[in-house]
Amino acid sequence: MNNPAIHKMLVSSLLSASVFATAIIATAQAAEPSKPAKFVAPKTEFGHPDLRGVWNFSSNTPLERPAQYKDREFLTREEVIRQHEQVQARSEASDNASGGGVGGYNQFWVESAAQDANFRTSLIIDPPDGRMPPLKSGVKSENGGLGPDTGGQRPVRFRVGGVRKDGPEDRGLSERCLMGFNSGPPFMPSMYNNNVQIFQSKTHVVLMTEMIHDARVVALDNRPPLDSAITQWSGDSRGRWEGNTLVVETRNFTDKINVFRGAGTGATMQLTERFTRVGRDRVDYQFTINDPNTFTKPFTALVPMIRADGELFEYACHEGNYGLSNVLSGAREEEREAAGKKK
């Protein structure tokens, strides 16, 4: 290749090819959709990530992954659309008469999450199979409901229903206005009123749930926890910041509540909650329950919380609550009627 003309031609061709290839790559890169910038959480005036406001944790996602999804962590967009179409169909069908049952709510009363709020197949993200771990051997699970009384023993640890109607202590914790249906802790989506308002100061965070308006005060100032002998319905919470995440650790629960979904007692329960602002109108709420006396291993769930417009109004269950007294007085009347028939 000693011919200068040929050498010059080859060099020119290679340079042209290089420029052309560079232009193609640049054009291809320009055609790619730009990825949204990583969300930067706003800060409070004292420098902490701003979690203040009213947040709704309604969900259409089941707690545990249905068997049909096997090891799939996420739904497709088409599956999510079908899911919401089914929710709409149930809403329309629920307008039929309920037959006079006191629990005959139609879908008007049910809060549904936005279609794109959660594509996961389960709220549980660990274990990876999306299922709750097994109970330890000998651990009992007690659940109430809107149906007949269960006939169990005191203390009644579940929220709804009761074991009998001899006295207030025979009724569920929500009927006695001691704990809400979804307030936990941890927060768990229920039929309605899935709202929490978060207040912040430099040294404290307050988590106020709508139902039944429990205000959990979380200290951030490294104060020591309560003595283990002092137990409370909602436990004793201490918080700290890990980067942009508020971490709340709670223990010292009373043994008069269950751990989760009717299982065990709260005496040895340890709860870790994480609140992370991931968008202008979204906080990811993650909780881990660890109770070696109840479950064979810890488990973690993730519940998206979406900003709610407006204020949080009082859920005045405690004021003018004639339901509990009427349940008991109605039972006494039934006893009198039964006694009269025996005479």
* Per-position DSSP letters for 8-55, written without gaps between them: HHHHHHHHHHHHHHHHHHHHHHHHSPPPPPPP---B-TTSSB---EEE
Amino acid identity at 17: A
Cβ–Cβ < 8 Å for 217, 199: no
- The tens place of each residue's pLDDT in the chain, 343 residues long, gives 444 444 443 334 433 444 334 433 333 333 333 445 689 999 999 999 999 999 999 999 999 999 999 999 999 999 998 888 887 777 666 666 656 566 566 777 788 887 677 899 999 999 999 999 999 999 989 999 888 999 999 999 999 999 999 999 999 999 898 898 899 999 999 989 999 999 999 999 999 999 887 899 999 999 999 999 999 999 999 999 999 999 999 999 999 999 999 999 999 999 999 999 999 999 999 999 999 999 999 999 999 999 999 898 888 766 677 888 899 999 999 999 999 888 7
**8-state DSSP, 62:** -
Q: Which strand (E) or helix (H) includes residue 325? A: helix 322-342
Q: How many residues does the chain have?
A: 343
Number of C-alpha atoms within 13 angstroms, CB side, residue 187? Answer: 33
3-state secondary structure of 186: coil
* Per-position DSSP letters for 117-163, written without gaps between them: S--BS-SEEESTTS-PPPBPTT--B----SSS-----SS--SSSSBS
Domains of the chain and CATH, by start:
53-59+130-322 (2.40.128.20)
